[in-house]
C-alpha cells in the first residue's frame, strides 16, 4: 500500500499514502463500530472491487482494520463487514492558551482516551512554555500507557508511539511554517518557530495552528456541514471559518482575525495596537460583568461576517461563552435577526459549540490520514 506503515508501535503518517486509501479509511471511520462491506466501499468510492480488496487487505495487515462480522445480502453469501480499529493509532492535541494548557490523547476515531489540564503563563518565555508543553504531553502518554484503554498501543509510555502532536494557540501565526507572529498581548513570540522547537523536543511530527481554526476543523470532522463561522471568546476573540466544508486560512494562513475588526473609531486601545477592536470592546464588557453588551458587540461583528461571507451558521464557543451561554446566544441572535428583517432574508441560525480546541488540534494530525487536505 502506498499507505500507512507501522513505526515504533504507531502509524507513520509521513509514509506515502494514496488518495484511494484515504477514501477507504474515511469511510471505515464514518461507519463506526457497525462497519461497512467491501462492496459498499467500492460503490461509495467508485473503485473496483479488486482495488478495494487490495487496500483493505493492506489495512488489515497494518492493524488499521478488522473483520466485524457478516451482513445479509440480497443474493449470494453474506457480506463480510470491516471496521476501523480506533486504538491502532493515537495523537495528542494541545490547547495552548494565554493562561492555561489542556492536553488530550485521542484515538483514530477522535475519541478522547486521556486528558490533562495545567496553568500556564504564555508570557513566561519560549523555553519555559516549550518545556511545559512537552512535559504535559509526556505525562499524559505515560499515564495513559499505564492504565488507560490505549495501554497496549502505548505500552512503551513514549511519545514515539504517537502519530504526532497538534498544538492550537491564539494567533496570528503562519500555519504552513509553524511560526508565530505577534500574538496579541505577547509580541515577544513574533517569529518564534514553535512547530520546529516542539518537534525537536518531542521527537514526533508537530502541527501548529490557531485555536479557532483547530476548533473549526474539529467541528467539521465531527459532522458540521456547509459554511460556518466558529467565534471563540475566551482570553481573546477570534474566528475559525469553514467555507464549503473546508477550513479557510487565507493565502498567508492569516484569515479569521475576527477580533481585530474596528467597530468603534477612536475606541479603547487594543493589544494589537489599534483602537476600537471587537476584542477590546468585548473583553472590557465581560470584565465589568456586562455580558449583554459583550453579546451585542459580538453580534454586530458577527453580522458583518455574515454579510461579507454569506455563511449558513454562526457557532459560539470559548470559555467565556460556555460559562454563560444564554446571554451570548440571545444577544447575537437579536442582532442577526434584526439585520435579517432589514434585508428580507431568513435569519442565520446561532448555536453554541463545545469548547474542544484541544480535540481539534489533534485533528491537525489525524485528518490527513483520512484525506482532509485542509488539516
Same fold, 90-147+160-215+358-370 and 224-353: yes
Which CATH fold topology does 224-353 show?
Nucleotidyltransferase; domain 5 (3.30.420)
Over its C-alpha atoms, the chain yields an Rg (Å, rounded) of: 22
CA–CA distance from 76 to each of 72, 73, 79, 214 (Å)?
A: 9, 7, 9, 46
Cα distance between the two ends of the chain? 22
* Domain range list for the chain: 19-84, 90-147+160-215+358-370, 224-353
Q: What is the DSSP pairing of strand 90-96 with strand 100-107? A: antiparallel
Q: How confident is the model at residue 69 (pLDDT cuts 50, 70, 90)?
A: confident
Q: Rounded CA gap, 375 and 14, in Å? A: 14
CA–CA distance from 55 to each of 11, 30, 58, 197, 235 (Å)?
A: 16, 17, 5, 36, 46
Evaluated on CA atoms 286, 288, 291, 296, the torsion sign reads negative
> Which H or E run includes 107?
strand 100-107
CATH homologous superfamily of 90-147+160-215+358-370 equals ATPase, nucleotide binding domain (3.30.420.40)
Q: How confident is the model at residue 154 (pLDDT cuts 50, 70, 90)?
A: low
Q: Rounded CA gap, 316 and 325, in Å? A: 8
Tens digits of residue pLDDT in 196-229: 999 999 999 999 999 999 999 999 999 999 999 9
Predicted local distance difference test score (pLDDT) of residue 252:
87
Q: What is the mean pLDDT of residues 12-40?
A: 84
CB neighbours of residue 100 within 10 Å: 16
Q: Rounded CA gap, 156 and 268, in Å? A: 53
CB neighbours of residue 225 within 10 Å: 12
Predicted local distance difference test score (pLDDT) of residue 128:
97
Give strand pairing partners of 107. Answer: 90
Question: Does the pLDDT at position 277 exceed 70?
Answer: yes
Class of domain 19-84: mainly alpha
- Contact status, residue 96 vs residue 167, Cβ threshold 8 Å: yes
| This prediction's pTM | 0.91
Q: Rounded CA gap, 348 and 139, in Å? A: 43
Predicted local distance difference test score (pLDDT) of residue 165:
97
- Contact status, residue 362 vs residue 92, Cβ threshold 8 Å: yes
Question: Does the pLDDT at position 3 exceed 80?
Answer: no
Question: Does the pLDDT at position 158 exceed 80?
Answer: no
Amino acid at each position: 500500500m502506498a499507505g500507512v506503515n507501522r513505526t515504533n508501535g504507531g502509524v507513520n503518517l509521513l509514509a506515502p499514502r494514496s488518495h484511494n486509501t484515504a477514501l477507504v479509511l474515511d469511510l471505515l471511520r464514518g461507519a463506526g463500530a457497525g462497519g461497512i462491506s467491501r462492496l459498499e466501499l467500492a460503490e461509495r468510492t467508485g473503485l473496483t472491487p479488486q482495488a478495494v480488496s487490495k487496500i483493505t487487505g493492506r489495512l488489515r495487515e497494518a492493524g488499521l482494520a478488522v473483520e466485524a462480522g457478516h451482513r445479509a445480502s440480497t443474493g449470494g453469501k453474506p457480506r463480510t463487514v470491516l471496521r476501523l480499529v480506533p486504538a491502532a493509532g493515537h495523537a495528542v492535541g494541545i490547547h495552548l492558551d494565554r493562561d492555561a494548557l489542556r492536553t488530550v490523547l485521542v484515538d483514530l476515531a477522535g475519541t478522547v482516551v486521556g486528558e490533562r489540564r495545567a496553568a500556564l503563563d504564555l508570557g513566561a518565555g519560549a523555553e519555559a512554555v516549550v518545556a511545559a508543553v512537552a512535559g504535559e504531553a509526556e505525562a499524559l502518554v505515560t499515564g495513559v500507557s499505564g492504565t488507560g484503554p490505549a495501554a497496549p498501543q502505548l505500552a512503551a509510555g513514549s511519545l514515539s508511539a504517537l502519530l504526532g502532536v497538534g498544538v492550537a494557540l491564539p494567533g496570528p501565526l503562519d500555519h504552513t511554517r509553524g511560526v508565530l507572529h505577534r500574538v496579541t498581548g505577547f509580541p515577544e513570540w513574533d517569529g518564534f518557530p514553535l512547530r520546529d522547537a516542539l518537534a525537536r523536543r518531542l521527537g514526533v511530527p508537530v502541527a501548529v495552528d490557531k485555536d479557532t481554526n483547530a476548533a473549526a476543523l474539529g467541528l467539521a470532522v465531527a459532522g458540521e456541514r456547509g459554511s460556518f463561522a466558529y467565534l471563540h471568546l475566551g482570553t481573546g476573540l477570534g474566528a475559525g471559518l469553514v467555507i464549503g466544508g473546508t477550513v479557510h486560512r487565507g493565502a498567508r494562513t492569516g484569515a479569521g482575525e475576527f477580533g481585530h475588526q474596528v467597530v468603534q473609531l477612536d475606541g479603547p486601545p487594543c493589544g494589537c495596537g489599534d483602537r476600537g477592536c471587537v476584542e477590546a470592546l468585548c473583553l472590557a464588557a465581560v470584565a465589568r460583568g456586562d455580558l449583554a453588551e459583550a453579546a451585542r458587540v459580538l453580534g454586530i461583528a458577527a453580522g458583518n461576517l455574515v454579510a461579507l461571507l454569506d455563511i449558513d451558521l454562526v457557532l459560539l464557543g470559548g470559555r467565556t461563552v460556555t460559562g454563560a451561554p444564554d446571554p451570548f446566544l440571545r444577544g447575537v441572535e437579536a442582532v442577526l435577526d434584526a439585520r435579517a428583517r432589514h434585508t428580507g432574508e431568513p435569519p442565520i441560525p446561532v448555536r453554541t459549540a463545545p469548547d474542544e480546541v484541544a480535540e481539534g488540534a489533534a485533528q491537525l494530525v489525524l485528518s490527513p490520514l483520512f484525506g482532509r487536505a485542509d488539516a
